[in-house]
Amino acid sequence: MAKIGILTGGGDCPGLNPVIRAVVRKSYIEGFEVIGIKNGWKGLIENDTLKLDLESVSGILPKGGTMLGTSRTNPYKKPQDLQKTKENFKKLGLDALIVVGGEDTLGVASKLIKDGITNIVGVPKTIDNDLSATDYTFGFDTALNTATECIDKLHTTAESHHRIMVVEVMGRHAGWIATEAGIAGGADVILIPEIPIDIDEVCGLIQKRHQRDKTFSIIVVAEGAKFKEGMITQEEKLDEFGHVRLGGIGETMAKEIEKRTGYETRVSVLGHIQRGGTPSAFDRVLGTRFGVKAVELVKNKKFGRMVALSGNKIIDVAIQDAISTLKTVDPELYEISKVFFG
């Protein structure tokens, strides 16, 4: 009986449990055994695993997060960790490993393939939706709906108090959540990492709006949006993949806007609320389709491949194609959002 390992790495997102459930259910039909590796690459370094059967995945479909746990552990940080990763892969007797992750987790998968652990299949996930080679990653739709709902709630209080409301959303390098939640929530300005902020222009747009008798405005800003001088970070400490912790752009924007326009301004940082909670129907379906396809790739020994969404079809692409470039916001979509600025 073939033995498949599965791990979920990097930031969690809604839709991971539907993937795990689909992998286990499809494997059962194919006669494969499934071993869950806990907490991403950390579990492979520490040989921390659990057997996954039909019973263990029962009831997890609507739950957010990941029943396997996750971490931002990078086995390439220390030579002994890499050694352990390779040893445990053998010790566990894995015929294949399904790696569910974003650019960092899949980046490790791609390196391992080059280093001789070739029997790997990738599944893309991130709320940021910034992975190439797939039209959407699961997690994004849920995050987008959460952010939109929050913007709707902020709208009513902004309107009542005649305030400017700055809403900071996630999006490290790409402003997908900001752009789409901004469009869906009727934002008056949307600021994304792809385009440096021009604070004079932002204030000009708000003032123009107020001259039209509007007494409130909503500004959506992605956490990774930057002034020409660079990103605003919470702390300089880097994680194991070399990322700084972002946050603070909303606060800075709010202060600047109030100072320059005189309009009372507040900030709301949505933070990890966007990553939590029950997955949307779209993310449950996408995660399920990805999970089933991942097992099919294992069955057909199509290793080094990643499942992906192209239009409405589930296809497979080289893992490398997903991580070599970042999928930034479609300029045409951003242009559409600008029709509603000011």
Among candidate residues 46, 271, 80, the one with its CA nearest the CA of residue 168: 271
Residues of span 114-153 touching ligand F6P by CB under 6 A: 126-128
Q: Active site residue: 128, 130, 188, 283, which one?
A: 128
Catalytic site residue 128?
yes
The nearest distance, CB 223 to ligand F6P, in angstroms, is 6
Report the phi/psi class of residue 59: left, alpha or beta, with left for phi > 0 and alpha for psi in -120 to 50.
left
The nearest distance, CB 111 to ligand F6P, in angstroms, is 20
| Residue 319: Cβ within 10 Å count | 23
User: What angle is formed at CA 66 by the lines to CA 143 and CA 132, rounded to 5 degrees?
Assistant: 55
Residues of span 64-103 touching ligand F6P by CB under 6 A: none
Contact 272, 291 (CB under 8 A): no
The nearest distance, CB 229 to ligand F6P, in angstroms, is 19
**To which residue do tokens 């991130």 refer?**
126
Nearer to ligand F6P, 194 or 223 (CB): 223
Nearer to ligand F6P, 52 or 181 (CB): 181
Among candidate residues 149, 99, 100, 98, the one with its CA nearest the CA of residue 126: 100
User: Judged by CB under 6 A, does residue 225 bind ligand F6P?
Assistant: no
The nearest distance, CB 261 to ligand F6P, in angstroms, is 29
Listing DSSP states for 44-76 in one string gives HHHT-EEEE-TTTTTT-TT--S-TT------TT
Site string for ligand F6P, 243-282 (x = CB under 6 A): ---x----------------------------x-------
**285, HSE (Cβ side, Cα atoms, 13 Å):** 9
Nearer to ligand F6P, 172 or 284 (CB): 172
Nearer to ligand F6P, 315 or 326 (CB): 326
Nearer to ligand F6P, 168 or 316 (CB): 168
Report the phi/psi class of residue 185: left, alpha or beta, with left for phi > 0 and alpha for psi in -120 to 50.
alpha
Number of residues forming the site for ligand F6P (CB under 6 A): 10
Residues of span 162-181 touching ligand F6P by CB under 6 A: 170-172
> In angstroms, what CA-CA distances link 15 with 98, 180, 237, 302?
15, 19, 29, 23
Catalytic residues: 128
Q: Which residues sit at the interface with ligand F6P, rule CB under 6 A?
A: 11, 126-128, 170-172, 223, 246, 275
